[in-house]
């Protein structure tokens, strides 16, 4: 299936509601490519490796979660120049979708992580920039913290860091992908005792401890692959486009 690039971009803008969500990322089409698209590549990060892989896969559009442009002026020098030149020389377009993909109720990172670990009665919790902070729900049957962490590791091919400051047997879990340790107070106030997220830093260790929460940190990269893969399946189903996911893990 071939479709016009501007029609695909217009559909993505509307489907992902990029205009409705406040974000530091300049979401949407960041670099123009060919006029028509038959193959779309997906990658978590807009980086040289992703651009070369998209070019070599003969994709006409690359969709990333972390784009190149973040509302600051960046000079076209060094790696930034090389990255953009790679896309322009290959005539590959770049589309970025950050918070709108985290929040999306159908193909978002957070909802997909809930589905991945089998949560039921999934509901939004908290608030961030006028949107739900994340999603959470109930486990089909109670399991231990270590069992849940092992399940996540197997499903995401990652190695989680576990902070064990809450109950050892779990029945409900709050979820937010990426770097979302700052939301720990909202996790607690939303009635959860276990939080599944991406990455943390030293600064938030005592928040988890003092709020009495379990936290499973499974990696920023690993937790933000799932939304892109879901969006790829959606575009395949709706438009018959070819898609490819470019797996470029950082281990972080």
Q: What is the pLDDT of residues 76-119, one digit of tens each?
A: 999 999 999 999 999 999 999 999 999 999 999 999 999 999 99
Task: Tell me what pLDDT residue 187 has.
Answer: 98
From edge to edge, which strands make up the β-sheet containing 214-217? 120-125, 134-144, 169-175, 194-197, 214-217, 161-164
* 94 shares its domain with 124: no
Q: Identify whether residues 72 and 148 lie together within a single domain.
A: no
Q: What pLDDT sits at residue 163?
A: 98
Q: Tens digits of per-residue pLDDT, 139-198?
A: 999 999 999 999 999 999 999 999 999 999 999 999 999 999 999 999 999 999 999 999
Kindly state the DSSP code that residue 26 receives in the 8-state scheme: -
| CA proximity to 185, closest of 168, 205, 167, 208 | 208
- pTM tops 0.95, yes or no: yes
Residues 131 and 72 in one domain: no
Helices (H), the chain: 5-15, 48-56, 78-90, 99-103, 109-116, 145-156, 184-189, 205-211, 220-223, 226-239
Percent pLDDT > 70 in the chain is 100
Q: What percent of the chain has pLDDT over 90?
A: 99
Per-residue pLDDT at 44: 98
Same domain, 133 and 27: no
pLDDT at 20: 95
**Which residues constitute the domain of residue 54?**
3-98
How far apart CA 64 and CA 172 sit, in angstroms, is 31
């Amino acid at each position: 299936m071939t479709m016009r690039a501007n029609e695909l971009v217009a559909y993505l803008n509307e489907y992902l509601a990029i205009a409705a969500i406040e974000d530091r990322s300049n979401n949407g089409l960041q670099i123009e490519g060919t006029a028509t698209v038959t193959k779309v590549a997906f990658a978590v990060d807009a980086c040289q490796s992703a651009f070369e892989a998209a070019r070599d896969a003969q994709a006409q559009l690359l969709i990333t979660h972390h784009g190149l442009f973040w509302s600051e002026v960046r000079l076209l020098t060094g790696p930034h120049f090389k990255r953009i030149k790679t896309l322009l020389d290959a005539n590959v377009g770049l589309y970025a979708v950050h918070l709108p993909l985290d929040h999306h109720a159908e193909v978002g990172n957070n909802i997909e992580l809930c589905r991945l670990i089998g949560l039921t009665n999934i509901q939004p919790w908290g608030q961030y920039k006028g949107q739900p902070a994340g999603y959470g729900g109930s486990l089909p049957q109670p399991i231990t913290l270590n069992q849940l962490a092992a399940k996540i590791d197997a499903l995401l091919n990652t190695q989680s860091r576990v902070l064990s400051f809450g109950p050892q047997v779990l029945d409900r879990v709050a979820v937010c992908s990426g770097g979302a340790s700052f939301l720990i107070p909202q996790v607690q106030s939303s009635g959860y005792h276990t939080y599944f997220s991406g990455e943390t830093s030293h600064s938030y260790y005592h928040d988890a401890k003092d709020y009495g929460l379990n936290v499973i940190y499974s990696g920023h990269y690993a937790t933000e692959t799932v939304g892109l893969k879901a969006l790829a399946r959606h575009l395949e189903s709706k438009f018959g486009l070819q898609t490819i996911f470019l797996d470029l893990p950082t281990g972080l």
